[in-house]
Amino acid sequence: MTGLDAFIKEYGNQVTVFINNRINESKAPDIIKEACLYSINAGGKRIRPVLFLMTLNALNVEISKKHIAYASSIEMIHTYSLIHDDLPPMDDDDYRRGQPTSHIKYGQAYAILAGDALLNLSFETMLDYASTVKDIAAARDISKASGYEGMVGGQVLDMNKPECVKDILKMYSLKTGALIKTSVVSAAIMAGANKSILKRLNDYAENLGIAFQLRDDFLDKTDINEKTGKPKNSDKKNNKSTYISKRGNLSNEIKLHKHTKNALAAIQPFDGSYDKLRSLAEYLDNRMK
Amino acid sequence: MTGLDAFIKEYGNQVTVFINNRINESKAPDIIKEACLYSINAGGKRIRPVLFLMTLNALNVEISKKHIAYASSIEMIHTYSLIHDDLPPMDDDDYRRGQPTSHIKYGQAYAILAGDALLNLSFETMLDYASTVKDIAAARDISKASGYEGMVGGQVLDMNKPECVKDILKMYSLKTGALIKTSVVSAAIMAGANKSILKRLNDYAENLGIAFQLRDDFLDKTDINEKTGKPKNSDKKNNKSTYISKRGNLSNEIKLHKHTKNALAAIQPFDGSYDKLRSLAEYLDNRMK
């Protein structure tokens, strides 16, 4: 197992345990706890929380429970967005990661409420652990990335079915990119990184987010129940234009590698502490699920 | 105009202006800004933000922009909850306050996203203004009240159609009571009120919340397009049991007055600074819309 694999496994697991404990210990009605945990435990690579923790690690911050709490909060936001995106009035997906989506399992009302509960819980969790001005600033960056100028805004653009490549890329940068970017940037804010480091990490994460979505679009075109767990061509079902549907496989592949290269170039001046962030960019470029 | 009316008018208006400015100045896609503002500007008494500001006023805190921001955040949470509650898989209401609900006007997808956007914006706004440990603690109290141990939990109980009076009252205390309670308690936390004052304000607000819902149930039974703006008997349409449907008008009225009396008793020892909170309890007890 490489250092990257070990890090992902170790901290992905810590995030999963943290969220499970937090929800299990709450006094919420059982059915909503169950619906939240169903989606949290439906798989998922924990890429965003791992990116958050990996950035702290690159900046030589010792990872504490507060950091696991923030990383977990980002994963809760990601999970809430998947639950709401899958709803019939939105993408209308019956399966995700090979399992029935929340509204198929629990009905639409509970799916809406489970999403709402996870979004609330994300902020509640950060506020439980925040104590410094830097902690507040990190939570603020996450909230902006999650909201209507970020991920929610991206979903709105997606509902408009963008047709031209420029609009498709804008949608990617908000719907997928914003939360990936804040996973890196909010960690750097929390660590008190200086402006020049922040700028480079911002560029790294911005490119990583676009590359991530381009790879997703490619994987979505292939036979997938073993891979992303989404039915083959689920994006096609909704008549969605993607970069790959507009420009073809080869252009998609070239663009993906270009963004990965840009991500690596952004952190090129930094020392070996950033090696895991480098490996992660390469891993995401090549991933098969 | 009494002192109470003037306060409600002045600060209700400041909250409306703050939220409108905040949304208008954002870089979010126009359609989602419009959908958010549609629901924010659809009327509403601004009781919760006014309670927040009135509590600060009782505690002799000079109201600043930070306080207006927090009060506005509570109103955003209230508005998001109405948008999601009205959705077809939930209460399926076509009208609220005499106007088409968000999903009737914009479709279900945008209604879900407008709710998500407002919930996000609420936390983003608080985090923009939070700087002290007390500010964080106030936002935390609001997040707990809004989440699955509070308002979302109450909506879950409501979906289960509680039948016995005990369960109906538990549902009221979460679905309606939690956000009203935090409107008072979070302001007291922010003001640094001591434990004994906090306890009394907590009791005041807890009773106020139940009284508020009992009054709502009564108003819902009457001819309403001029009053709450909901179609007559909209709760009946969903076969919902209420305290009034179980125990009748007279018991509802007696219980309502009892909770108002308890609310007043809780703050009885305090001086004239609390007079507006007293008047508000009486106003809510008698309100006709």
- Looking up residue A271, the CATH number of its domain turns out to be 1.10.600.10
- The HSE-up count of residue B156 (CA atoms within 13 Å, CB side) is 28
The predicted pLDDT at position A222 comes to: 72
**Does residue B258 have a pLDDT over 80?**
yes
Residue B99 pLDDT > 60, yes or no?
yes
Which among B31, B128, B149 has the least Cβ separation from residue A26?
B149
- Identify the residue among B79, B120, B125, B155 best suited for mutation to test binding to A, counting A beta carbons within 10 A and taking the highest: B120
pLDDT of the residue at B43: 86
- Identify the helix (H) or strand (E) that includes residue B95: strand B95-96
Query: CA Rg, chain B, in Å?
Result: 18
Contacts of A49 (CB under 8 A, 6+ apart): A11, A12, A15, A71, A72, A74, A75, A183
Confidence band (pLDDT; 50, 70, 90) for B240? confident
Q: H-helix or E-strand containing B100? A: strand B99-100
Q: Do B156 and A90 touch (CB under 8 A)?
A: no
Q: Rounded to whole angstroms, what are the CA distances from B132 to B29, B54, B72?
A: 32, 21, 19
For the stretch A101-145, pLDDT in tens is: 999 999 999 999 999 999 999 999 999 999 999 999 999 999 999
Q: Is the pLDDT of residue B229 over 80?
A: no
How many domains in chain A?
1
ipTM associated with this complex: 0.95
Domain that holds residue B103: 3-286
Asked if A27 is an interface residue toward chain B (Cβ–Cβ < 8 A), one would say: yes
What are the structure tokens assigned to B199, written together? Answer: 């306890």
B161 touches chain A (CB under 8 A): no
pLDDT at A220: 84
Residues 85-114 of B with CB under 8 A from A: 87, 89-90, 107-110, 112-113
Q: Please report how many Cα atoms fall inside a 13 Å half-sphere around the Cα of residue B33, on the Cβ side.
A: 13
* Amino acid type, B162: P
Q: What is the pTM of this model?
A: 0.96
Residue B228 has pLDDT above 70, yes or no: no
A-chain residue closest to B150, CA distance: A28
Q: Which of B193, B209, B206 is nearest to B57 (CA)?
A: B193
Measuring CA to CA, which residue among A30, A51, A14, A32 is closest to residue A279?
A: A51
Q: Alpha-carbon distance A211 to B266, whole Å?
A: 59
CA–CA separation, B35 vs B110, rounded Å? Answer: 7
Q: Which member of B28, B136, B160 has the closest CB to residue A149?
A: B28
pLDDT digits (tens, 9 = 90+) for A3-33: 899 999 999 999 999 999 999 999 999 999 9
Residues of chain A below pLDDT 50 = 225, 227
The residue in chain B having the minimum alpha-carbon distance to the alpha carbon of residue A83 is B112
Shortest CA distance from A122: residue in chain B: B143
Q: What is the pLDDT of residue B227?
A: 47
- Please write down the HEC assignment for all residues of A144-189: HHHCCCCHHHHHHHHHCCCCCHHHHHHHHHHHHHHHHHHHHHHHHH
Q: Which residues of B touch A145 (CB under 8 A)?
A: none
Residue B92: pLDDT band with limits 50, 70, 90: very high
